[in-house]
């Protein structure tokens, strides 16, 4: 038996596989997990109650439940929900969209897989690429290109502050220059908020990227899995929801309570939406109905965005503040920098004095049951090496991503151990 190149590429080890495996894998006997690794969001009671109420209404309404479970939705997604999404965004944000501009997918992870492969790979005798203009970027993208070598990136710039914090900045000139020299770029993509760093690209940075996308006639894919207006895990002021015909906006219901139900929402120009629906038919027949059924009334009535703003954002803001306090307390006296926590459910810590790579440090922490995600996986899309390392960014093997949405006591214990081990593994 022999796998194809496609088979080998998609079935080989990847960072995202390791991360998802770590979520479920039991640790050696007697070691309690301190889960700061994967991307599991928290349980938020008020949000759960809202979905429960929707489900109870469905169950009490004649044979509505049976009608939901007994039929496939269309490949583009549940039609009523596509309309609700279009109406919601056109009436609240003035976006000129109809249901033909909206498609659903089984989770936004699948949406990104479809989109990346729509715009990268062989086309008219050329190999097209996806440009990630702000590296480090989401580990879950790194292996999604079906063809080898189709992802490229521009390393982010970095600003350091005296209070042990730092912030990634878009290298606008670097991105412009890359685009001018590489006509094969088929699309640009960013996550906003950025997973892993918790950076939130400002309106002006997004505006610049959208202008560049427009002038090169390529789409700008904005992954809004943590963004506005839901789940609204954004703590900065200069970020507003944005869509226009140059932007492909990917959204998700995962971080607003429904990660297990797998609902991604794509808003884009009609040709792209048609393509996404057609890929769904081939890859999945249809999308799951439950996310749309549970979220339809909540979105249409404004309750979903109210929950996002009044419940989900404050919940994660409190967690983020607490995480920052813990890091300051336990890392005090060490050489560390914390990326400003502007959004998402992660913090990203730079440990310049680490004497080993973060892949090695991660393995060391695992022995104590502390699950983290090593930074190396978030740097991809470059052939350039720096000081013998596979990615030309000084942070390449010196950062850890920590999920701060879990149990407070376990997080504290995890941070304490990470700081203790950092002291042992410092040059």
Ligand X SMILES: Cc1ncc(COP(=O)(O)O)c(C=O)c1O
The answer to whether residues 183 and 218 touch, using CB atoms and an 8 Å cutoff, is: no
- Candidates 191, 202, 287, 382; binder of ligand X (CB under 6 A) is 191
> Which own/partner contact pairs does 350-354 have at CB distance under 8 Å and 24+ positions apart?
350/166, 350/395, 350/398, 350/399, 351/398, 351/399, 351/400, 351/422, 352/398, 353/422, 353/426, 353/427, 354/397, 354/398, 354/422, 354/425, 354/426, 354/427
> Which own/partner contact pairs does 123-129 have at CB distance under 8 Å and 24+ positions apart?
123/186, 126/184, 127/184, 128/184, 128/185, 128/186, 129/182, 129/184, 129/185, 129/186
Closest to ligand X by CB, 37 vs 121, is: 37
Kindly state whether residue 138 participates in binding ligand X, applying the rule CB under 6 A: yes
Stretch that binds ligand X, among 103-111, 180-188, 296-304, 397-405 (CB under 6 A): 103-111
- Candidates 120, 150, 156, 195; binder of ligand X (CB under 6 A) is 195
Kindly state whether residue 343 participates in binding ligand X, applying the rule CB under 6 A: no
Closest to ligand X by CB, 257 vs 369, is: 257
Site string (139-178) toward ligand X, x via CB under 6 A? -x--------------------------------------
SS3 content of the chain, % helix, strand, coil (to 5): 40, 20, 40
Kindly state whether residue 342 participates in binding ligand X, applying the rule CB under 6 A: no
- Candidates 84, 144, 165, 254; binder of ligand X (CB under 6 A) is 254
Q: State the Cα–Cα distance between residues 87 and 129, nearest whole angstrom.
A: 34
* Rg over CA atoms, the chain: 21
Kindly state whether residue 352 participates in binding ligand X, applying the rule CB under 6 A: no
How many other C-beta atoms can be found within 10 angstroms of the C-beta atom of residue 222? 24
Closest to ligand X by CB, 137 vs 413, is: 137
Work out how close the CB of 114 gets to ligand X at its nearest, in angstroms, rounded to a whole number.
12
Q: State the Cα–Cα distance between residues 55 and 69, nearest whole angstrom.
A: 13
Kindly state whether residue 18 participates in binding ligand X, applying the rule CB under 6 A: no
Work out how close the CB of 372 gets to ligand X at its nearest, in angstroms, rounded to a whole number.
15
Work out how close the CB of 261 gets to ligand X at its nearest, in angstroms, rounded to a whole number.
9
The answer to whether residues 266 and 248 touch, using CB atoms and an 8 Å cutoff, is: yes
Kindly state whether residue 223 participates in binding ligand X, applying the rule CB under 6 A: yes
Closest to ligand X by CB, 165 vs 252, is: 252
Kindly state whether residue 107 participates in binding ligand X, applying the rule CB under 6 A: yes
Closest to ligand X by CB, 120 vs 252, is: 252
> Which residues contribute to the site for ligand X (CB under 6 A)?
39, 107-109, 138, 140, 191, 195, 223, 225, 252, 254, 259, 264
């Amino acid at each position: 038996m022999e796998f194809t190149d496609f088979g080998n590429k998609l079935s080989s080890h990847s960072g995202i596989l390791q991360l998802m495996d770590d979520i479920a894998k039991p640790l050696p006997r007697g070691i309690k997990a301190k889960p700061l690794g994967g991307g599991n969001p928290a349980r938020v009671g008020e949000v759960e109650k809202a979905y429960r109420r929707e489900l109870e209404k469905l169950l009490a309404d004649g044979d509505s439940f049976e009608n939901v479970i007994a039929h496939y939705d269309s490949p583009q997604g549940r039609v009523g929900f596509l309309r609700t999404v279009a109406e919601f965004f056109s009436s609240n944000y003035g976006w000129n969209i109809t249901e033909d501009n909206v498609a659903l997918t089984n989770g936004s992870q699948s949406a990104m897989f479809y989109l990346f492969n729509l715009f990268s790979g062989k086309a008219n005798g050329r190999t097209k690429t996806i440009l990630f203009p702000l590296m480090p970027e989401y580990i879950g993208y790194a292996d999604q290109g079906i063809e080898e070598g189709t992802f490229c990136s521009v390393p982010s710039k970095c600003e350091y502050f005296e209070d042990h914090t730092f912030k990634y900045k878009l290298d606008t000139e670097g991105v412009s220059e890359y685009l001018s020299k590489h006509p094969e770029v088929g699309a640009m993509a960013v996550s906003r908020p950025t997973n892993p760093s918790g950076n939130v690209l400002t309106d002006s940075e997004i505006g610049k990227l959208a202008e560049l996308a427009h002038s090169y006639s390529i789409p700008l894919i904005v992954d809004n899995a943590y963004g506005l207006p839901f789940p609204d895990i954004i703590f900065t002021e200069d970020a507003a929801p944005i869509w226009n015909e140059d932007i492909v906006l990917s959204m998700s219901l995962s971080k607003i309570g429904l990660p297990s139900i797998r609902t991604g929402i794509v808003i884009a120009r009609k040709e792209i939406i048609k393509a996404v629906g057609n890929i769904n038919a081939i890859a999945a027949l249809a999308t799951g109905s439950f996310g749309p059924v549970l979220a339809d009334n909540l979105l249409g009535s404004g309750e979903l965005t109210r929950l996002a703003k009044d419940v989900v954002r404050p919940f994660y803001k409190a967690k983020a503040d607490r995480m920052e306090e813990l890091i300051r307390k336990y890392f005090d006296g060490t050489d560390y920098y914390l990326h400003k926590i502007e959004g998402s459910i992660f913090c990203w810590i730079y440990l310049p004095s680490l004497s080993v790579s973060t892949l090695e440090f991660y393995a060391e922490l695992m022995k104590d049951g502390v699950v983290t995600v090593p930074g190396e996986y978030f740097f991809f899309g470059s052939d350039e090496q720096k000081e013998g390392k596979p990615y030309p960014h000084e942070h390449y093997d010196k950062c850890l991503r920590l999920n701060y949405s879990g149990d407070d006591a376990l997080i504290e214990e995890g941070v304490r151990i990470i700081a203790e081990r950092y002291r042992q593994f410092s040059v």
